[in-house]
């Protein structure tokens, strides 16, 4: 009875954000396809040829692949809007896992009941993981609707974007776990959110430096975002499966490890009175 109440509360607390985020991603997925249909391949190729070398390296895939309809639509999975929506979900759910309940005073009451703290964290982790999958599926659904309703230059199979959607899902899960780990040490949700945001920015900088500076390619091992490369997976062809397994398994393992460590910290720490 108590466990079911914990699950219901966890779902109710996030359902508004989840529904709004899913709707936004479906609409943006369709809009992005429609927007790309307005540009011709020749115009895109001419524009990309003007890009400086360091920007081409950041793209991570050859320009001749990017100018194809498949390559242009693959940008959807690295676009700022979907990344920010998934970032917001991961930060919100991860910070709510521990420090959110402490700062609201919820855990001061709940944790006096005969319930294991790990069960509370597990409910938060499961909801965050399910939401990550729904967000990625929503973006892919919008992508599919756009392909089905908008006339494009050449045929683009919707299934080709599944590796990108899966990579987005695992990245969101991984970052929610990292945020939950930060949350397990803290008592203030806003501070946790700021720390998680700073960690994300630092990871992004490390990934960019590792990409642009060959002697510093080892820095990629310090950034979880180095395993987030949906565009390359979509355009990888025969190499897609091993690449997807390698990147997604890394994100999964980091996310799981972060949640396990968060559970250890949460189960042993004191729960302070909210300020």
Burial label, 271 (beta-carbon count in 10 A; 0-12, 13-18, 19+): middle
Kindly tell me if the per-residue pLDDT of 54 is higher than 60.
Answer: no
Domain residue limits at 35? 2-268
Residue 145 covered by a domain = yes
Q: Which residue has the tokens 């979509």?
A: 234
Residue 154 region by backbone torsions, left for phi larger than 0, else alpha for psi between -120 and 50, else beta? left
Mean predicted confidence (pLDDT) in 56-73: 72
Select the highest-mean-pLDDT range: 57-61, 115-119, 147-151.
147-151
pLDDT of residue 186: 92
pLDDT score of 64: 65
Res. 226: pLDDT tops 60: yes
Q: What is the mean pLDDT of residues 242-255?
A: 96
Indicate whether 209 belongs to any domain.
yes
Which pTM was predicted?
A: 0.91
Q: Is residue 19 part of a domain?
A: yes
Residue 274 maps to a domain: no
Say if 116 falls within a structural domain.
yes
What percent of the chain is predicted at pLDDT more than 70? 89
Evaluate if residue 108 carries a pLDDT over 90: no
Judge whether 108 lies within some domain: yes
Task: Mark out the alpha helices in 38-149 (DSSP H runs).
Answer: 41-48, 53-59, 63-66, 69-74, 80-95, 101-104, 106-110, 117-149
What does the pLDDT read at residue 47? 60
How many contiguous H segments (helices) and E segments (strands) does the chain have? 13, 0
How is residue 165 annotated by DSSP? H
Residue 228 has pLDDT above 80, yes or no: yes
Higher-pLDDT residue of 50, 116: 116
Question: Does a structural domain hold residue 200?
Answer: yes
In a domain, 273, yes or no: no
Number of structural domains the chain divides into: 1
Residue with tokens 């939950």: 180
d(Cα 213, Cα 216) in Å, to the nearest integer? 5
């Amino acid at each position: 009875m108590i466990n079911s109440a914990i699950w219901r509360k966890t779902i109710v607390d996030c359902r508004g954000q989840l529904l709004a985020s899913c709707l936004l991603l479906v609409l943006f997925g369709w809009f992005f396809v429609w927007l790309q249909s307005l540009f011709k391949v020749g115009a895109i190729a001419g524009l990309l040829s003007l890009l400086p070398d360091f920007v081409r390296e950041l793209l991570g895939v050859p320009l001749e692949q990017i100018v194809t309809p498949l390559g242009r639509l693959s940008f959807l999975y690295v676009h700022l809007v979907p990344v920010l929506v998934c970032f917001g979900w991961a930060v919100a759910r991860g910070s709510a896992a521990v420090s959110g309940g402490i700062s609201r005073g919820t855990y001061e009451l709940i944790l006096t009941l005969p319930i294991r703290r790990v069960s509370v964290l597990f409910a938060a982790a499961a909801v965050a993981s399910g939401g990550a999958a729904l967000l990625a599926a929503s973006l892919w659904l919008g992508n599919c609707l756009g392909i089905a309703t908008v006339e494009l230059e050449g045929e683009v199979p919707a299934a080709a974007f599944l590796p990108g959607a899966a990579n987005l899902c695992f990245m969101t899960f991984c970052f929610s776990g990292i945020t939950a780990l930060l949350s397990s040490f803290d008592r203030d949700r806003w501070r946790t959110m700021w720390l998680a945001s700073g960690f994300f920015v630092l990871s992004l900088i490390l990934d960019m430096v590792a990409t642009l500076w060959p002697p510093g390619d080892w820095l990629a091992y310090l950034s979880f975002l180095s395993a987030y490369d949906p565009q390359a997976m979509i355009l990888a062809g025969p190499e897609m499966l091993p690449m997807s397994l390698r990147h997604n398994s890394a994100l999964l393992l980091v996310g799981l490890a972060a949640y396990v460590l968060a559970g250890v910290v949460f189960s042993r720490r004191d729960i302070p009175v909210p300020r």
